[in-house]
Structure 1
């Protein structure tokens, strides 16, 4: 890392990632929106295919999330793990983590997919937010 971040900052970033996952799972749209900076971007790649996105701005990302949730009949659980900090770019901290996505439907729990998040987080007015998020999924679901 070009600049060392503190343990307190790392803990706050861990909490940001946990809150974003929880908000997705519980459909807490205000909490989810607050996880992203106003000028955030989101992209993804599924199983090595073409990049989808980027979806620009908090509003654009929230439209994507809302439309995705509207199509889901199951109960999702986004488990974020193996979080580490790759770099402080001076324009935010790059954070890498694993995603394990599970779903419960008809009393059965199944693994949908797994992947890797590559996030750049920034602190604005004392609050950490996702500035950019890219998700590489291992397989479609």
Structure 2
């Protein structure tokens, strides 16, 4: 185990922000680019592996993005070992499906346990694992 530098900590936080920005904007290439070539995402839909498959997953997920604003909170970076680290965070989704007319509200929250790797000088997700998902029935009926 090694200590994480302030620069690495900042870059990992930026990775989380780029990931959610890509989700909210439907940026398929930007989303895929937050992962290593063989990176994976495990969530309520199963496990998706590889940049092309991850971009397709986001494209398929698209309709539920409208009006959502995702964010990471309470991020903790641990188990740093050279060019890899473990990242724990909460996800919070604020929704206003009719902007300017609907009051923003919490649509869902979850927890992520991630493994990140420094590749070519950039931190990327090697593995993102979502658990503890809770959904607001207003936004996700049934």
TM-score class normalised by the smaller sequence: 0.7 to 0.9
Aligned residue for 1:139, secondary structure, equals: strand
Aligned-CA RMSD value:
1.7
The alignment partner of 2:134 has SS state of: coil
Matches of 1:65 and 1:16 in 2, distance apart?
17
Q: Structure 2 CA distance, aligned partners of 1:66 and 1:5?
A: 34
Give the direction of change, closer, same or farther, for the CA distance of 1:9–1:135 in structure 2 (3 Å limit): same
Query: What are the ranges of 5 or more consecutive residues in structure 1 without an aligned counterpart?
Result: 46-51
Equivalent position to 1:86, from 62, 72, 78 = 78
Specify which of 60, 84, 87 is matched with residue 67 of structure 1. Answer: 60
2: CA distance, partners of 1:72 / 1:28: 14
Instruction: Kindly state the Cα deviation for residue 104 of structure 1 after the two structures are TM-superposed.
Output: 1.4
The equivalent position to 1:111 in structure 2, one of 88, 106, 109, is 106
TM-score calculated relative to the size of structure 2: 0.85
User: Which structure 2 residues correspond to residues 1-141 of structure 1 after superposition, within 5 A?
Assistant: 2-45=1-44, 52-69=45-62, 71-72=63-64, 74-89=66-81, 92-106=84-98, 107-108=101-102, 109-140=104-135, 141=140
2:15 and 2:123 in contact (8 A); partners too? yes
With the length of structure 1 as denominator, give the TM-score of the two structures. 0.85
Aligned length: 133
User: Post-superposition shift, 1:9?
Assistant: 0.4
Kindly indicate whether the alpha-carbon contact (under 8 Å) linking 2:87 and 2:116 is maintained by their aligned counterparts in 1: yes
> Are residues 73 and 38 of structure 1, via their aligned partners in 2, closer, same or farther at CA, if it must alter by over 3 Å?
closer
Runs of 4+ in 1 over 3 A off after TM superposition: none
